[in-house]
Amino acid sequence: MPDKPKVAFYWCASCGGCEEAVVDLAEDILKVVEAVDIVLWPVAMDFKKADVEARPDKSIAVAFINGAIRTSEQEEWVRMLRRKAGLVVSFGACANSGGIPALANQFKKEQILKYVYEDCPGVDNPAKTRPQTETTDEGRTVTLPEFRSMVRSLDEVIEVDYYLPGCPPTPKLIMAAVGAILAGKLPPQGTVLSPDNALCEECKRKDSKPADLALTEFKRPHQIQIDPEKCMLAQGLVCMGPATRSGCEARCVEGNMPCTGCFGPSSRVKDQGAKFVSSVFSNIAPKEAPEIDKVLDGIPDPIGTFYRYGLSKCILRRKLN
Ligand code: SF4
Ligand code: SF4
């Protein structure tokens, strides 16, 4: 019997939700396990770095890597997996475009360390001790990975073959990707494995989205009773649907919550946040500055709203000062 293809799962700066999504394949996980040999999956199995390092280059058929890249250790791991794997799939919003961890790119490394180890309420650290990459105590030396100056997406560090979007990707998309890889029926390198349309096109509420929204205020989901039939934007809620790739089956909107943009942009959109701002802000009813500002006050965190999952890949990328 021929060897089964070898598959690796790895996580970098991640919440663990993408790993959970693999577990959430339910009975389908058994089909995956039957079809492949899992040679690395830190969340579930005890493989060591040395086990992977000892494998011949390209001996792993595919590595699914989730999470963004923040530390030297994450960078070392993904460079090694790139050598060992024939295909690398960037798995989920954090790997694809920095995700939630990349929101830290609004701050300098020193600001983050100072807040976390000194200023954060609840921190008791009078000596202002910070983690060091190397510490020697009683003749023994321990090391920690280096905390890099910014968060990067996976493809800013290594070459990526395919992208699975989402926070996390849906079981349907994961199974379709695994099926295509096992069958050798792969699209061109660099493809995002999800339909290339705006979410609004697959949303059941699209017929209630007026051509001119005539927005007089923005509201946050907890401030109103959301109409379950009507377009979110028509209710004054920020819904990233017009600037976001489809393929999630509009799960958030189906759950009566606006889209927050985790699938990233479609191929025709260069910058997801800029696309949203340009398409929706032209629908603000007031035309004079003070009134426009009053409407925009309804969005207290513009970067966290328009670039929640994509700060490391957008035009802005990071805040310098
Ligand atoms: S993409 Fe979402 S679910 Fe996956 S690691 Fe990032 S935050 Fe977690
Ligand atoms: S803006 Fe949101 S609710 Fe409205 S059609 Fe688009 S995805 Fe649906």
Asked whether residue 189 is domain-assigned, the answer is: no
Of all protein residues, whose CA lies closest to atom 2 belonging to ligand 1? Answer: 167
Same domain flag for 75 and 120 = no
- pLDDT per residue over 167-226, tens digit each? 999 999 999 999 999 899 999 999 999 999 999 999 999 999 988 889 999 999 999 999
Specify the ligand 2 atom closest to the Cα of 204.
8
Q: For the domain that residue 77 is a member of, what is the CATH number? A: 3.40.50.700
> What number of other Cβ atoms are within 10 A of residue 289's Cβ?
8
Q: How far is the CA of 201 from the centre of ligand 2 (A)?
A: 8
pLDDT on residue 34: 85
Q: How far is the CA of 70 from the centre of ligand 1 (A)?
A: 14
Closest by Cα among 185, 35, 12, 34 to 82: 12
Rounded average pLDDT over 129-155: 95
Torsions phi, psi of 100, nearest 5? -55, -40
Q: Write out the two tokens for 157.
A: 């560090």
What integer best gives the mean pLDDT of the chain?
Answer: 94
Specify the ligand 2 atom closest to the Cα of 232.
3
Q: How far is the CA of 66 from the centre of ligand 2 (A)?
A: 28
Q: Which bound ligand lies closest to the C-alpha atom of 210?
A: 2
pLDDT on residue 317: 74
Long-range contacts of 230-234 (CB under 8 A, 24+ apart): 230/205, 231/203, 231/205, 231/206, 232/205, 232/258, 232/259, 233/209, 233/280, 234/208, 234/209, 234/210
pLDDT on residue 320: 64
Asked whether residue 319 is domain-assigned, the answer is: no
Same domain flag for 25 and 167 = yes
Rounded average pLDDT over 78-97: 98
User: For residue 127, what are the domain limits?
Assistant: 109-147
Same domain flag for 76 and 171 = yes
pLDDT on residue 35: 87
Asked whether residue 316 is domain-assigned, the answer is: no
Which residue in this structure is represented by tokens 């649907």?
241
Same domain flag for 25 and 92 = yes
Domain count, the chain: 3
Q: Write out the two tokens for 197.
A: 């349309």
Q: How far is the CA of 22 from the centre of ligand 2 (A)?
A: 28
Rounded average pLDDT over 31-37: 85
Is 297 buried (19+), middle (13-18) or exposed (0-12) by CB count in 10 A? exposed
Same domain flag for 169 and 264 = no
- pLDDT per residue over 3-30, tens digit each? 899 999 999 999 999 999 988 887 787 8
Closest by Cα among 41, 310, 303, 306 to 151: 310
Same domain flag for 137 and 255 = no
Q: Which CA distances in Å does 260 have to 95, 237, 253, 307, 318?
A: 17, 11, 10, 9, 20
Q: What percent of the chain lies above the pLDDT cut of 90?
A: 85
Same domain flag for 90 and 56 = yes
Confidence bin at 321 (pLDDT 50/70/90): low
Ligand 2 pocket residues where CB is under 6 Å? 199-200, 203, 205-206, 209, 231-233, 239, 241-242, 253, 259
Asked whether residue 1 is domain-assigned, the answer is: no
Same domain flag for 95 and 231 = no
**Helices and strands (H, E) in the chain, number of each type:** 11, 9
Question: How many angstroms separate the CA atoms of 167 and 240, rounded?
Answer: 14
Which residue from 19, 20, 22, 94 has its CB within 8 A of the most atoms of ligand 1, so it is best to mutate? 94
Judged against a pLDDT cut of 90, whether residue 269 lies above it is answered with: yes
Of all protein residues, whose CA lies closest to atom 5 belonging to ligand 2? Answer: 206
Ligand 1 pocket residues where CB is under 6 Å? 14-15, 17-18, 66-67, 92-94, 99-100, 167-168
> What number of other Cβ atoms are within 10 A of residue 262's Cβ?
26
